[in-house]
Amino acid sequence: MMIAKNSIKFLTVLAIVFSSFTAFAGGGGSSDKGEQVKTPEQINAYIKHHLADSHDFALYSYTNDAGERKHVGFPLPVIVWTSKGLKTFMSSAFHHNDDGTVIVDKGDVKLVKIHSKIYELNEGATTVAFDETHHATNAHKVLDFSVTKSVFGMLLAGLLMFLGFGSLAKSYKKGAIPTGVGRVLEPLVLYVRDEIARPNIGEKKYKKFMPYLLTVFFFIWILNLMGLTPLGFNVTGQIAVTVCLALFTLVVYITSGTKDFWAHTLWMPGVPKILRPILAVIELVGFILIKPFSLLVRLFANITAGHFVVMSLIALMITLKAQFGAVASTGISLLLTLFISVIEILVAFLQAFIFTMLSALFIGMAVEEHEHDHAH
């Protein structure tokens, strides 16, 4: 049984790696302009494009018998607020172009997509004018509320959590021992409770914050695992997402701070009064800026670096092809990518654990009741 389980784990990682190879193998990869990826410059551009958010899913690309470049994927809803009001359409209207050559005419407004950003052409303009740095000079950004790939990933992760925890709750109604998906989730729930919440927040108050800690842990963990699939998710590698998660933790421990916590933060006892205002400023900066910043940067940097390394190792099959041949370069790339992918599975859990543990630690510091020496 143990051998079977280990085999399944190995085959799962192997499937992820082989599936990821479809992004480059056989000339399947394409740059953000739809060109076949061959040169180191195109590889760097492709990796940057992969790490960035997008308005559609581009699963893979290929060249047909007629020499035409074809892209396989599906569009997502584009929702933008322009100078003429709200405009909605599907991202397929841009025809997989990201350089401003495709203009979407919505009657009273013309829209283009440049470097994954949607712009509105100035009134009267029919084409995009660029300066020497390829920035549009006759267009301006719009308010973008689109369902991008990252938004789609978050909605999918939320749906998986809703179904998983719903299944766990229903299984408890049938008996003390969960069944089905609940058997997988229960050890993780108990782990968050016993190894993260209780030690850092305390026995008396940890239950109040369990819903938030469980949500953060599973949300980050599921998104990290989704980032290892060929779908190309990089949600926790988007700085906007990690900023929002850090702000949620900030709001939770700031609003939960006890009177004792604020008294010790703003007017620290046991130190000379002349130093207390200085220490209060330092403490406030630490709680409001430094602690959330450490949360968001750690998650963002580690996930982005992991994706960059995996994509770079996959690209070795192209860069080493001339020196070692197609078979040898693919073998080297496969072995290195397999090794990094196994580590990335651990990192996916580790980053979710670290973010949740630090959140619990900050909350515990805010709700802690200090012991006062009444003799003095």
In which band, very low, low, confident or very high, does the pLDDT at 375 lie, cut at 50, 70 and 90?
very low
pLDDT at position 4 is 45
Of the listed ranges 4-8, 178-182, 203-207, 264-268, the one predicted with least confidence: 4-8
Question: Which residues are bridge partners to 80 per DSSP?
Answer: 87, 144
Amino acid 371: pLDDT: 62
| Predicted local distance difference test score (pLDDT) of residue 250 | 94
CB-based contacts of 99: which residues, under 8 Å, 6+ apart?
Answer: 32, 33, 114
Pair of tokens at residue 17: 């790696």
Which pLDDT score is estimated for 372? Answer: 54
Please say whether the beta carbons of 344 and 306 come within 8 A.
yes
8-22, 171-185, 226-240 — which is least confidently predicted? 8-22
Q: What is the pLDDT of residue 374?
A: 44
Q: What is the mean pLDDT of residues 124-146?
A: 86
Dist. CA 327–CA 121, nearest whole Å: 48
pLDDT of 81 above 50: yes
CA distance 198 to 210: 9
Pairing type for strands 117-121 and 139-141 reads antiparallel
pLDDT the model gives residue 87: 92
pLDDT at 24: 47
Asked if the model's pLDDT at residue 350 lies above 50, the reply is: yes
Query: What is the arithmetic mean of pLDDT over 86-91?
Result: 91
Mean pLDDT of the region 24-41: 54
Residue 183 has pLDDT above 90, yes or no: no
Q: How far apart are CA 250 and CA 291, in angstroms?
A: 8
Residue 11 predicted with pLDDT over 90: no
In angstroms, rounded to a whole number, what is the distance separating the alpha carbons of residues 72 and 56?
11
Whether the per-residue pLDDT at 22 is higher than 50: the answer is: no
Residue 201 is encoded by which pair of tokens? 């927040």
Residue 70: pLDDT band (50, 70, 90) is confident
Confidence of residue 29 (pLDDT cuts 50, 70, 90): low
Region 8-24: what's the mean pLDDT?
46
Average pLDDT taken over every residue of the chain: 81
Task: Give the pLDDT of residue 177.
Answer: 78
Mean pLDDT of 67-73: 74
Q: What is the pLDDT of residue 242?
A: 94
Q: Above 80 in pLDDT, residue 331?
A: no
The count of C-alpha atoms lying within 13 angstroms of the C-alpha of 198, restricted to the half-sphere facing its C-beta, is 8
Query: Do the Cβ atoms of 185 and 163 come closer than 8 Å?
Result: no
Lowest mean pLDDT among 44-58, 73-87, 154-168, 178-192: 44-58
Q: Which of 27-41, 64-78, 119-133, 222-236 has the lowest mean pLDDT?
A: 27-41
